[in-house]
Structure 1
Amino acid sequence: MLQTARSSITPGQIWLDTKGDRIQAHGGSILAVDGVFYWYGENKEKSTPGSGIWHWGVRCYSSTDLYNWEDRGLIIPPDVNDPTSPLHPQQYLDRPHIIYNERTEKFVCWIKVMTPGEPTQRSTVLEADSILGPYTEVRSWLRPLGMNAGDFDLAVDPTDGKGYYYFGRIHTELICADLTDDYTDVTGYYSTHFPRKQPPFVREAPSYFARDGLHYLITSGTTGYYPNPSEVAVAPSYHGPFTVLGDPHPDDPSRTSFHTQISSVFKHPGKRDLYIALGDRWLPHYTADSSAALKAFEEHFGQEQGGDVEPMAELTTIDTSQAAYVWLPLRFDGSMAYIDWHEEWRVEDFD
């Protein structure tokens, strides 16, 4: 059934595409190509409790206004026939990020992948001539710099086209690594940031953006799908040094980033200063503050380090097929970036 056209963004509410189906683009990002916005992310339509399905490929939607999204299908379909493929539905495929390489004229997609029961987190890299694919694997099960590579973001310098890869070195720190000229690997040059003792304090889900000559990262604590306080940091260069400025959600008493984990920040190309934090509300019915999740994860990893591991109890039922989206504009005060709550907001309200 066709949907009535939308004229605003309503964070946290169910978002349907133009056909009336629930949008499935989790852990997502937006790329603008020739005046059209493309929103892509993890397709979780089959990831219901007990299904054993983590993902069903990468789905993409297109729009000209950021409100109404047309389903463009699976740009990276699941590989249902090969259980050893990083694209198999039971592999933990997360957070696709796509950048365009002007030198090679290729769209390059990196994906984080983890095999159930194994601690190693690796990357798979694909290329396509079009944002909508088809994509071809060029590197599979990559361990960048020989490290376990978790949540990540990609950045391209608009002046020289150099690429950068921000990723979490699992349960340790955040890495900024230079990409090769074709964006399909790392060069070996890297810097380290935000060393922390253990989860939930280790940073993950890095979201990069640049503004007024400064380089920003918004990161999450490490509590799985359970929301926690975000942290914004700023640096004079891609490789830092980063200065932590604090929680960008100071008006959220629950200290859960409005029950959201930010996956990326999108700079609207037609607006002077509109930056949009794209977030996932992985647990839309979870209303507790962050203290329960932070305490549970801290105790769990303390036991793990001490050798006395107890299974960590689930705090609530996880059904990522029902996850919601929270998109909010950033507000700047000097170098600090804030994210205020809006029940409803419009792109047209920004210069």
Structure 2
Amino acid sequence: MKFSEDVIRPGRPWLDTSGNRIQAHGGSVIAVDGVFYWYGENKEFTVNGGSIWHWGVRCYSSTDLHNWEDRGLIIPPVEDDADSPLHPSQYLDRPHIIYNEQTKKFVCWVKVMTKGSVQRSTVLVADSILGPYEIVRTWLRPLSMNAGDFDLVVDPHDGKAYCYFERVHSEMIVADLTDDYTDVTGYYSTHFPQPQPPFVREAPSHFRRGGKHYLITSGTTGYYPNPSEVAVAPSYHGPYSILGDPHPSDESHTSFHAQISSVFKHPGKKDLYIALGDRWLPGYLDDSSRAVTEFTKHFAPGNDGDKPMDEFAMVDTAIADYVWLPLRFEGEKAFIDWRDEWSVDEFEDM
């Protein structure tokens, strides 16, 4: 039986066309030759207390953004080498893929966190969006920095590329990439300095609209959701002006219990920007009073960053849900409103 959807239902289990849970966490969407590809962390074998953090990068294809066909593992795990950044026990997160028009290569960066919370990057390339991908750099520390959550951006006019990454527990970095997109050039700018978590910004998601550059980030609270923050700038390197939480209607101040991983501009719609979010802890909704308590404790004035966070007994990212919502704009301000369901077809074509 083939499963079919005509709407997107944020926060509800999302099944592929074969009826299986979609495993594309911390994911992004890229359009290639009129087809959408959604890729992300495959968590199907990740269980609380287990040794498997990921099972490679999985990809799905669609022509309508509603129905997704499983295209398999485009970057499979390396099972026989515990020292490989692709080994299932390595903390591999947030793959991002961009296309290099000059080299005709798809370039994928992944973040890998090792013992001691050292976070580095591995870079892979392929001739096709679906792979096979070949590792070209391992254990890269961009600018000799401990690099956490990130986003990759290509300028649509000159093909120049940038990496936005969290300098772990410190600030946001915008770094120019080399012409082949596999390394940084050395030129960079710094943004949003903070003394410690939970105030440090992570999970950067960049998009352009009307000549402005937007960046949506989250605070640093582990798997607990927190209020997003949107900022706007005249260029990739800023300066960025903070506009505040784009979820003003969310009384829980948790970005609708989700963390945004990327923002996708629909190429066939006039003004459709979609915030792709992960609801890492679906059980968070089952105890709203505790949720508010945890949030308040860690974002309270005077927090020195050393207060421990309670964790749920079960953190089962294999059943994490997705919260995809369209952005709404008032002038240069960007907002994200809750919708129980919505359709791409509601938006005007180009």
* Number of equivalenced pairs: 344
2: distance between equivalents of 1:25 and 1:125?
A: 19
The yes-or-no answer on 1:111 pairing with 2:113 is: no
- Asked if 2 retains the 8 angstrom alpha-carbon contact of 1:228 and 1:290, the reply is no
1: distance between equivalents of 2:310 and 2:256?
A: 23
* Partner residue in 2 for 1:81: 80
The yes-or-no answer on 1:72 pairing with 2:74 is: no
Residue 298 of structure 1 and its aligned partner are, at CA, apart by: 7.7
1: distance between equivalents of 2:299 and 2:237?
A: 29
Task: Look up the equivalent residue of 1:95 and give its one-letter code.
Answer: R
Distance 1:205 1:290, change over 3 A: farther
* Partner residue in 1 for 2:2: 2
3-state SS, counterpart of residue 282 of structure 2: coil
The yes-or-no answer on 1:234 pairing with 2:232 is: yes
RMSD over aligned CA atoms reads 1.6
2: distance between equivalents of 1:313 and 1:260?
A: 18
2: distance between equivalents of 1:136 and 1:36?
A: 23
* Partner residue in 1 for 2:222: 224
* Partner residue in 1 for 2:297: 295
* Partner residue in 2 for 1:162: 160
3-state SS, counterpart of residue 285 of structure 1: helix
Mapping of residues 199-218 of structure 1, within 5 Å: 199-218=197-216
TM-score after normalising by structure 1: 0.95
2: distance between equivalents of 1:152 and 1:188?
A: 17
* Partner residue in 2 for 1:317: 314
2: distance between equivalents of 1:298 and 1:283?
A: 22
Distance 1:337 1:311, change over 3 A: closer
Counterpart among 325, 343, 347 of residue 328 in structure 1: 325
For residues 197-219 of structure 1, the C-alpha deviation after alignment (integer angstroms, 9 at most, x for no partner) is 11000000000000000000000
Distance 1:315 1:104, change over 3 A: same
For residues 284-326 of structure 1, the C-alpha deviation after alignment (integer angstroms, 9 at most, x for no partner) is 1102345414525889x8375xxxxx86432452100010000
2: distance between equivalents of 1:312 and 1:347?
A: 38
Mapping of residues 176-191 of structure 1, within 5 Å: 176-191=174-189
2: distance between equivalents of 1:100 and 1:89?
A: 26
For residues 62-102 of structure 1, the C-alpha deviation after alignment (integer angstroms, 9 at most, x for no partner) is 00000110000000000111111000111100000000000
Task: Look up the equivalent residue of 1:340 and give its one-letter code.
Answer: D
2: distance between equivalents of 1:237 and 1:13?
A: 36
* Partner residue in 2 for 1:307: none
For residues 218-269 of structure 1, the C-alpha deviation after alignment (integer angstroms, 9 at most, x for no partner) is 0000001100000000000000000000000000000000000000000000
Mapping of residues 1-351 of structure 1, within 5 Å: 1-3=1-3, 5-115=4-114, 117-287=115-285, 288=288, 289-293=291-295, 295-296=297-298, 302=304, 304=306, 312-351=309-348
3-state SS, counterpart of residue 189 of structure 1: strand
Distance 1:114 1:297, change over 3 A: farther
Work out the percentage of aligned pairs sharing the same amino acid: 72
For residues 125-173 of structure 1, the C-alpha deviation after alignment (integer angstroms, 9 at most, x for no partner) is 0000000000000000000000000000010000000000000000000
